[in-house]
Amino acid sequence: MNILSIPPQLKVMIAGLFSLILTMGVARFSYTPLLPVMMDETFLNDATGGWLATINYMGYMSGALLAASISDLTLKDTLYRVGLLLSIVTTVGMALAENYILWSIMRYFAGFGAAAGLLIGSGLILNWMLRHGHRAELGIHFAGAGLGIATSAAVAMLMVGQFDWVQQWQVFAIVGVFLAIPAWFWLPRPDVSQLTLSGKRLKDNPPEKSWMWILYAAYFCAGVGYVITATFLVTIVDMQESLQGNGSMVWLITGLAAAPACILWDRIARRIGALQALFIAYGINIVGIIIPVFDSSLGGVVFSGVLFGATFIGIVSLMLTMVGKFFPTKPAKPMGKLTLSYGAAQIIAPAISGSLAEASGNYNTPLIMAAVMMAMGMGLIAVLYSRQQKME
């Protein structure tokens, strides 16, 4: 297919896809397969590695707070592009020295860049789709998060035994430069009018505040469930003597399961509704999280990774798309507010989990904690569905 003949909506989605592979896969998720390498070759341990993850999520939450506080589409477009640049710079920065302060700064701004790609980029794309009369679904865009995981795992696997931790970060930075090109040039500058291409005025239709607060709480639970497995999955695998060296492979499978999942969850939500789809996704996610506690075989952790990958990004996609549809004129703003609850969980959980793992010698307690939180979130989704039925 000639590049010039690609439909505009597909180019926009592909721009978003590449932006997520860069901002989530390279700048953020590459830390997961590189953490065991850095723990072997530097002074990092479970606790300090967990704190670096927490600092990364603090940066992500700062980006979410900024996304939630601004409405100007032109400014959001600028921040999206700043996020792309930050994702490359902070990846290079991780390789500059074995210095915890430097790493902390780099992980913080990498988190900020991830928020720009996931939240601001998603809002810009959803706004563009609605303005041009296309279906308000972001499955292809969010597939970039799954492909980002797969990319980070594949690149890490190719570098095993070939490069030290410094060179591995440098390779990821080079990959990031190539990803930034379509992410930058294929997303059009935003239209700041309040009209669609057909002349129809975009109108916000917000739900009740109490309904939104329950949604925030449910998404906080999902944040806890997500961050523990996403941060420590490779380490959980590689710390077992019988599975050493398989962590990146499991992470790759997780990403490959996540990549098509968002498109699948879009179809499920289209048939049964977003809240029903979320309820199912939460339930499957719980199974994926808890499996390694009871089955630490290679088959067990691979199955865990598949279930986790197939659901965590689906939950994110469904949540952000659902709330964005309520506010079509400025979808990134409510997306940012919703993500503050998700981000709060990501600040709290990694440090606690790392410390618990350091004390106990395994990650069973953090995984059980994550599964319990997801079960609470599942209950909250049921409450939202019940309230929605009564309103209808």
Domain ranges of the chain: 3-190+206-391
Q: How far is CA 114 from CA 31, 103, 283, 347, in A?
A: 13, 16, 27, 14
Percent of the residues in the chain that have a pLDDT greater than 90, as a whole number: 36
- 193 pLDDT band, cuts 50/70/90, is low
Count Cβ neighbours within 10 Å for each residue of 107-122 and write b for 16 or more, e otherwise.
bbbbbbbbbbbbbbbb
Interval 36-65 mean pLDDT = 87
Listed ranges 59-63, 202-206, 210-214, 365-369; the one with the highest mean pLDDT: 210-214
Rounded-to-integer distance, Cα 305 and Cα 253, Å: 7
Q: 1: pLDDT confidence band, cut at 50, 70 and 90?
A: very low
Mean pLDDT of 105-119: 93
pLDDT at 354 over 80: no
Phi, psi of 12 (to 5 degrees): -65, -45
pLDDT greater than 90 at residue 362: no
Stretch 376-387: mean pLDDT: 94
CA distances from 364 to 1, 201, 251, 294, 372 (A): 49, 52, 18, 9, 12
* Helix, strand, coil distribution of the chain in percent, nearest 5: 80, 0, 20
Residue 330 has pLDDT above 50, yes or no: yes
> Domain 3-190+206-391 classified CATH 1.20.1250.20?
yes
Nearest to 240 by CA among 298, 172, 313, 179: 298
Integer Rg of the chain from CA: 20
Per-residue confidence (pLDDT) for residue 187, from 0 to 100: 92
For all residues of the chain together, what is the average pLDDT?
86
Of 100, 13, 27, residue with least CA distance to 63 = 27
The band of 220, judged by pLDDT with boundaries at 50, 70 and 90, is very high
287 compared with 156, residue with greater pLDDT: 287
Phi, psi at 195, each rounded to 5°: -115, 150
3-state secondary structure 23-41: HHHHHHHCHHHHHHHHHHH
